[in-house]
Chain A
């Protein structure tokens, strides 16, 4: 079975532009989470979506938004890009809402965003 897939793999944008990142979860997984990993640091939680509803939001500005589609794929949107938004953006999927001790989140390869 295919794992979590993300597109594009790399992206270069300039300050002030908008970007859309895409994620397809593992088949049968209903929850998608987004994380930002700045170079040299651990990933930071941005959003979680389950059954098309936002179930969690990290400490990120309103420039960051996301949505989940009926097929459980997801998009992360970032408006008015800043230099500090340069990072690896990771998507993770899990079978259910992730509120169970046994659930594991499976990560995709990430989208590397560079803002110039």
Chain B
């Protein structure tokens, strides 16, 4: 079946450090890929998405590129802020389906 694997966390960084959170997927067909963020005590917010190979999703300084050859969608940010502290989820949805398949999530803590 479909699955998403995220790098094990938690991740702790200092403010202004570079962030990478790895995400790889297994799916038949040609999924769309997403990064969602969950702040403490809240639901999920869409951070960015990409719908085809080599697409780059970007938002609020975060970027991720859909790499079909490596089945990856790694999240990056050049300079993190304390306010970026949250749990980040990588997810996929297949074009023939309507259910999101999520990874386990990666807890990010940014210290001042």
Contact = CB atoms under 8 A, between A and B. Distances in A.
Contacts of A56: 97-99
Contacts of B52: 101
B96 interface: yes
A93 to B, nearest CB: 12
Interface residues of B, number: 26
Interface string A67-111: 000000000000000000000001010100111111011111110
A105 to B, nearest CB: 6
A31 interface: yes
Contacts of A33: 98-100
A1 B97 CA distance: 27
A106 B46 contact: yes
A30 to B, nearest CB: 12
A61 interface: no
Instruction: Tell me the interface secondary structure of chain A in the complex.
Output: loop
Contacts of B69: none
B44 A98 contact: no
Contacts of B89: 42-43
Contacts of B42: 109-110
Interface string A22-51: 000000000101010000111111001010
B100 A105 contact: yes
Interface in B9-39: 32, 34, 36
A104 B46 contact: yes
A104 B35 CA distance: 11
Nearest to A99: B98
A18 interface: no
A90 B105 contact: no
B98 A90 contact: no
> 6 closest pairs, A vs B, by CB?
A42-B102, A98-B98, A45-B99, A107-B44, A109-B43, A107-B43
Given A33-B98, A101-B52, A110-B42, 6 more contacts: A40-B104, A42-B102, A92-B100, A99-B96, A106-B46, A107-B44
